[in-house]
Structure 1
């Protein structure tokens, strides 16, 4: 089963979104566990961190620093500039900017392995980005994105710090209990469990989206189209900017953002249209491996493992 999940993870991730849409009762059933699933996938990623390798990367931090600066500090203002002249609803613009301000999803490590990209860069950017985002997102969320919520940046910071810090602490405890030898031997199992958690998250976050599609198909189509375009802009923008280095690895971390973590940070204060976008935007993100695979294979044929 572990081998099967690892081999067909790209298809399984894509299927999760459509299961949530096709079975709204299942999405509603899993919705109360959404916060727990966000924590679980964060913990699973942090358990995979090789702290010795992280220390080695930090000794030559150029590539990693560039990835973090782009994801946490530069891509959101760039997206805001691009959106300024476009006549979109204000809430939709805010949601897209928030997406661009979020750290990469921790699942980028799984996707990088599937596509033969830089797994270490994806892992370090996702983990360090998650650890640092409480310092960057609150002010972007409430200022740059222009979201009018009854929250101070400090409250958003505290919520994010609680989720991220708690996940990091739990990951450290689990690493000590399990031990480095068993962790190394079970890395495929951890990756498979991460995929399963992501599928459950995709189903849960689709709660209510099916009824929006039925009742307001125009709104759903607008949000879906905007999410595809925003994802492509983040993906190919990073590929162009970092073309001299490793375009597709940077495109991976740039195009796949952890909107669930933003959701957890904003809590009940997030506008309904923003949370709707976060749900619908999972569609292009979960389809990302299938969409980008032919390009990676064409431009870097040696990088892509067979039968992915």
Structure 2
């Protein structure tokens, strides 16, 4: 057991390298990526469980002031941002372009399940990211209604709402079990125990990204120009949002949590909406989602200096 804890601690110290290794494996091993793709729901749930176990219920819930901030940022990220983007694209006549659809869906989505883990890998407190993840998913059925109404080609709103409900159920079960374990079995975990949990989180994220990259490997070989195009769009959207929010919050009252809030702003759970899309838009969107993982998983490496705790 001591050796396992030591190995997981080693993984925690090299978490950023593990994420890059996962990206490379997802591209270089398309067969493995296809196999792991079938296990994505379970991997996402396990990742959420680890994040909740690491943080604990007290930090996850936060204070009353934290709840008001969480609610305000959720409305900004999941409601105001997508509506503003859709209206701009509608005015410019770009709404029927695949890029417009991809960006509108990205902005409408709640946080990815791995946002607390990414925040932790930047050396910051992951609790604000977990609060945004839980609250944002809980209110997604409400915040997504107007963007869906503005994008009627997405299909039945009921399908998206059911998908949001399933994701909320996964978060409730995984987080609830983790909080029970933390509360009764690990009320005051030792530093080496927390490092072991961090290492397990890094390994889980590296495995998860292999499955998420299943569409990228073939695209690099068969249509490299298309791959580069969607990679550029994904990087601009993901990293652009993160940097913009981080700069905006740098001198604000929220500066201590700006890393968590910025990571959530740029990293959204787009896969939630796939069930509502017509087949004609699925292929380019799947490639965009695959390319989207690259800036997502490189966040702790590319933006390390920006998110350095002060």
Q: TM-score when scaled to structure 1? A: 0.82
> Which residue does the alignment assign to 1:75?
81
Q: Which residue of 1 aligns with 2:262?
A: 251
Once residues 54 and 137 of structure 2 are traced to their aligned partners in structure 1, the CA distance between those partners, rounded to angstroms, is 14
Give the corresponding residue for 1:196. Answer: 203
Higher mean C-alpha deviation, range 62-71 or range 228-237: 62-71
2:51 is the alignment partner of 1:40: no
Distance 1:120 1:167 in 2: 15
The answer for unaligned runs of 5 or more in structure 2 is 1-6
Q: Identify the residue that residue 109 of structure 2 maps to in structure 1.
A: 102
Query: Which consecutive unaligned segments of at least 5 residues does structure 1 have?
Result: 298-302
Given the alignment of the two structures, is residue 125 of structure 1 paired with residue 136 of structure 2, yes or no? Answer: no
CA drift of 1:138 comes to: 5.7
Aligned: 1:285 with 2:296 = yes
Q: How does 1:214-229 map to 2 (within 5 A)?
A: 214-229=221-236
Output the CA distance in 1 between the equivalents of 2:101 and 2:163. 20
Distance 1:288 1:178, change over 3 A: closer
Shift of 1:22: 0.8
Contact 2:53 2:182 in 1 (8 A): no
Secondary structure of 1:182's counterpart equals coil
1:229 offset after TM fit, Å? 0.7
Tell me the number of residue pairs that the alignment of Structure 1 and Structure 2 aligns. Answer: 295
Matched, 1:21 2:27: yes
Alignment of 1:178-197 (within 5 A): 179-182=183-186, 184-185=188-189, 186-197=193-204
Deviations 1:255-284 (A, max 9, x none): 222234444x54886722212211111011
Report the Cα distance in structure 1 between the residues aligned to 2:93 and 2:247, rounded to whole angstroms: 23
Residue 300 of structure 1: aligned partner: none
- Range 85-94 or range 29-38, more displaced: 85-94
TM-score (norm 2): 0.82
Give secondary structure in 1 for the equivalent of 2:159. Answer: helix
